[in-house]
Amino acid sequence: MKILIALATTVALAVLSIASTAHAVPDECFVAKPPHKTMVLRTNPNTKSEAYREIEAGEIMWASSNETLMINGWRYVFAVEGRDIGGAGWRGWVREKEVRKVDCPLPK
Residue 44 has pLDDT above 90, yes or no: yes
For the segment 42-64, the average pLDDT, to the nearest whole number, is 90
Compare 40 and 83 and report the one with higher pLDDT: 40
| Position 95 pLDDT exceeds 90 | yes
High-pLDDT (> 70) share of the chain, %:
69
User: What global pTM score does this model have?
Assistant: 0.69
Domain 25-102 indexed as CATH 2.30.30.40: yes
Q: What is the mean pLDDT of residues 56-85?
A: 87
- Amino acid at the residue 108: K
> What are the residues whose beta carbons fall under 8 Å from the beta carbon of 98, sequence distance 6 or more?
32, 33, 36, 39
Q: How far is CA 60 from CA 20, 30, 65, in A?
A: 20, 6, 15
